[in-house]
Structure 1
Amino acid sequence: MSLQPSSGSWNLLLLAWLVALVSTLSALFIGEVMGQAPCVLCWFQRAFMFPLAVVLAIACYRSDFAIWRYALPLAAIGAVLAFAHTLLYAGLIPQPIQPCTATGPSCSGAEMTIFGGVPLPVLALLAFILITVLLIIIRRRTI
């Protein structure tokens, strides 16, 4: 089965990869350079974002527009995790459900912000949503 992209599909694929790449590099910068240890939910989100940066790069190189079949589940699951993290950060998830322990970084603490108060879980959620939307558009243009 050969997928023929419409005009602009490659640019959308490139944009999805750039979002994943910037998110991955940002997470590494925050953890390794700024010294902020990731919380439990951040680790799970990284487990879905880091592979996206790799598979979307390969898809760009190969002009593989069927990548949505593999990348869309990663992005959607990552978005669900980031949404739960955002709810936890906002205090909308009850205390007993919180996955963070007393020994590690808090999933809802003040250190979960950047740029003067922008919550990291919200940034992760926006990145996953943007990648998901771009992959859905690619899927619709290539089927």
Structure 2
Amino acid sequence: MEREKRAENLLLTAWAAALIATLGSLYFSEVLGYIPCDLCWFQRIFMYPQVIILGMAVARKDAAAARYSFALSLIGGLISLYHYGLQKIPLFQKYAISCGRIPCTGQYINWLGFITIPFLALTAFMIIILLSWAVMRQQRKGSER
């Protein structure tokens, strides 16, 4: 019983992270008018569905959904890491591929000298990865008993 409640809380927290990331990206593009580059769109593709997947998992108390959020976040996180590298590593910037009409090396925000939009996305993906991993680990422990 306690294990299931903990899994529910972890899924709820992962859902909240996905929701905040989704609303944040929509705020940047729809309110502030920042046009997303191609890599930003790919990150959105891997984040937005998680609001629905994790929301349904919380509502149905379905801890098995953690596998899907883990996989989506792992891929989205790798894209975010690459995108962040394009923005912050000069060697990557020099050889960056064309990224549509909006350059992927551009930085709409640069808070504290290192927090950019891909960094925020990477942070959200990492939170979801860790929470999903914790849920999967709990499921494994529960099935061993």
TM-score, scaled relative to structure 1: 0.87
Partner of 2:94: 95
How do 1:1-143 and structure 2 match up within 5 A? Answer: 5-91=3-89, 92-93=91-92, 95-101=94-100, 104-111=101-108, 113=109, 115=111, 118-143=115-140
Output one character per residue of 1:40-83: Cα deviation in whole Å (capped at 9) or x when no partner.
10000000000111100000000100012222111100000000
Ranges of 4+ aligned residues in structure 1 off by more than 2 Å: 4-7, 94-99, 114-118
Aligned partner letter, 1:131: I
Instruction: Work out whether residues 93 and 105 of structure 2, in 8 Å CA contact, stay in contact via their aligned partners in 1.
Output: no
Shift, 1:7, TM fit: 4.3
SS in 2 for 1:36: coil
Shift, 1:115, TM fit: 5.0
SS in 2 for 1:8: helix
State the alpha-carbon separation in 1 of the partners of residues 5 and 96 from structure 2: 46
Aligned partner letter, 1:64: D
Question: How many residues were matched structurally?
Answer: 137
Of all paired residues, the percent bearing the same amino acid is: 37
Could you say if the C-alpha distance between residues 94 and 108 of structure 1 is closer, same or farther in structure 2, counting changes exceeding 3 Å? closer
5+ residue gaps in structure 1? Answer: none
5+ residue gaps in structure 2? Answer: 141-145
Aligned partner letter, 1:77: I
Alignment root-mean-square deviation, CA: 1.8
State the alpha-carbon separation in 2 of the partners of residues 56 and 46 from structure 1: 15
Aligned partner letter, 2:14: A
TM-score, scaled relative to structure 2: 0.86
Q: Which has the higher helix share?
A: 2
Instruction: Work out whether residues 68 and 135 of structure 1, in 8 Å CA contact, stay in contact via their aligned partners in 2.
Output: yes
